[in-house]
Structure 1
């Protein structure tokens, strides 16, 4: 990286990256209606859980007319259209579980989905940007961002646990807003050699990451592990690196060859990518290639922000060069909080995936699937992987360990208790 004083004096800011001052990466005021022409989409999308339950979703989609996308003009219209078409697609593909998947998405869904995706720079599959960032409304528009005052626009099978999963994730995104706002403070402080500004910015980022961890704890309150594992997970799964759909999916009317896309993943949230680039976390090759691929599932402006943070002068080197105890402490605290967040995420994944997977395997071996309830009906193909297609525990632990490596040498022994 270049030294701090070779950088232009233009201040780094979030203005050109579609990052909201109040909401960060979250889409402000998502629409809940499309122009009337698109009502046929909304009629199906709003009832995905019931139509999957009655196994009628595929027949409804097969009867849909092929609509032009030319009447979708505004960014928020495109985002709602992408969300609705995504939810329909996940329901269509996985309506009958992993044993009776389809190999073709009909053109009435595939063609408009592809066109809307191209205009947004998003892939034609359900992403974090759809299900979380653009899938919320307040019951009382003037009320607070709380679980009691929030609801989803469009849902998937899994009842209250689906609502809990997406909305708690939304609240984690919102907890990160002060951290996002202070990334430019830190970058500009490094450029101007202002150690006090950098330390102050890092202290705010640390507190914000702590707030993210505290908010993530709500998963245990609002999401039932057996429902997440046994019902919801398959609808978040993609058709890349998935034994349940080894050949991908043909988007009829788009191209004749099947295409492969990864399912939803926490790695599609831009937040941790931004923190990693700011703090100088170096992931090993396999983890890095997965994380880099997940950036193609983000809105292009958010992906660009991550890339631009990575090209700034090195914060870690700056901290090492300054003889500032406050700065050293602030950097150490920030990395430690990120480490603690990743460790806590491993606990959540263990409770929602690893434990139910072991239970499902045990029930299968004992041929007790009838009594096993929801868990035993879960797809076997996903037992060891995340919905994004990664070997989940190995991946998360490797990412955590490389976060620990970012600590400056003399301090690494002090945070071993986080692991």
Structure 2
């Protein structure tokens, strides 16, 4: 019999109190030489502030000069290899990965020197001073060297007051690109969703424990747990809806989202090649890498709910699709322990022999199916809300001209129509998991 107790075990870096979020407050700042070089460079990037493509009417000639100097200083910065503190303490390793991720995305999306631009130098090149330690840390914590959901959300919060503890109103975001309330609230929305999802993980674990018992009492308990899960999913929908309260769609699309673009969004204007080159990283051998930027599709919580509810995004149940492949590919951007957790959950199987279902259990089984459909409908409504958010924050903005502040930036969020298509397919896959007599 599979061991379901590990559904909230430290082996998978999943905590009974915080779920996929770290159980301890993330490290706020590195120490020693890493602070002197990496943290200081990030402080400068945020204080200048660097701007997407260097553009916008708010950017002065002097500010552009300082931004170009910042880029030169990054290229000339000493190459550090992960210190013993980073290799032995996961909290510092995560902070270092976060700092390097923000530095790289600041560097890659800020304005280049005009002279260098004309010569075609440094196009799509992550300088060795960032690339070498970043890839080494990525290998250590088993996550790709690119900005991810884990970077911007799960490892990017702190407590306002350490004595008040891990409560909703005592959390704040640590690092942003724009320094805006909109960006902070965008990240915080996901933090609160992950935090609320802790109860969902508990309910799923208890349901699986009862499933292995399989008697009448177990079915009734499962029904209770799954109905509570439906209520948690409704809360997640409300939290997602509330992103509107403090995240402005125009600021998000034009001033925040372009910073997220990963290596797969870069095209060399001279050669037409896609991807970033990680300078000095031997294992990549000068090859352009196509890592994607952060996405809510990288949330381990949502993947776990899908697996538990039997929602198939692989396309194997019907015709294979690119979106199915995309959802599966998103798992490679999760921390390694969380991918292992998903695989463990998939491998839990049950013996389903309806011939042995007692007549006095049929009513309980039917009520369990009703509770299951109720939870699936709540999951569908959550995806409906995600589509509305995508339309408001991305699709509608794509049809507008950029505001003056961003007009000269030369950068634009992409993938709006593709995103809606992907979300539509996810919703369809959720509906397909309903019992036949409940499908619309």
Same-fold call, TM > 0.5? yes
CA distance in 1, matches of 2:89, 2:411: 41
Alignment partner for residue 369 of structure 2, among 328, 346, 355?
328
Alignment partner for residue 250 of structure 1, among 255, 262, 277?
277
CA distance in 2, matches of 1:8, 1:310: 11
Q: Does 1:64 align with 2:77?
A: yes
Residue of structure 2 in register with 1:21 after alignment? 16
Q: Is the 8 A contact 2:124 2:266 kept in 1?
A: no
Alignment of 1:298-309 (within 5 A): 298-309=334-345
TM-score for the superposition, normalised by structure 1: 0.86
Residue of structure 1 in register with 2:27 after alignment? 31
CA distance in 2, matches of 1:249, 1:120: 21
Structure 1 pair 152/44, CA: closer, same or farther in 2 (3 Å)? farther
CA distance in 2, matches of 1:396, 1:314: 30
Q: Does 1:44 align with 2:44?
A: no
Q: Does 1:84 align with 2:125?
A: no
Q: Is the 8 A contact 2:258 2:411 kept in 1?
A: no
Residue of structure 1 in register with 2:57 after alignment? none
Residue of structure 1 in register with 2:55 after alignment? none
CA distance in 2, matches of 1:36, 1:306: 36
Find the structure with the greater CA-based Rg.
2
Residue of structure 2 in register with 1:178 after alignment? 199
Q: Does 1:277 align with 2:318?
A: no
3-state DSSP class of the match of 2:275? coil
Residue of structure 1 in register with 2:249 after alignment? 225
CA distance in 2, matches of 1:401, 1:139: 40
Q: Is the 8 A contact 2:153 2:187 kept in 1?
A: yes
Deviations 1:183-221 (A, max 9, x none): 221222222212123212212221211111111122101
Structure 1: runs of 5 or more not aligned = 1-6, 361-368, 414-419
CA distance in 2, matches of 1:352, 1:315: 45
TM-score for the superposition, normalised by structure 2: 0.82
3-state DSSP class of the match of 1:210? helix
Deviations 1:304-334 (A, max 9, x none): 111121122269998xx76224312210111
Alignment of 1:10-159 (within 5 A): 11-15=5-9, 16-28=11-23, 29-39=25-35, 40-51=37-48, 52-53=50-51, 54=63, 55-56=67-68, 57-71=70-84, 72=86, 73-96=88-111, 102-143=123-164, 149-157=170-178, 159=180
CA distance in 2, matches of 1:201, 1:35: 45
Count of residues paired in the alignment: 390
Structure 1 pair 297/315, CA: closer, same or farther in 2 (3 Å)? farther
Q: Is the 8 A contact 1:212 1:341 kept in 2?
A: yes
Q: Does 1:352 align with 2:387?
A: no
Q: Is the 8 A contact 2:237 2:385 kept in 1?
A: yes
Residue of structure 1 in register with 2:230 after alignment? 206
Between 272-281 and 149-158, the greater mean CA deviation after superposition:
149-158
Q: CA deviation at 1:264?
A: 0.7
CA RMSD in angstroms comes to 2.6
Alignment partner for residue 221 of structure 2, among 197, 206, 214?
197
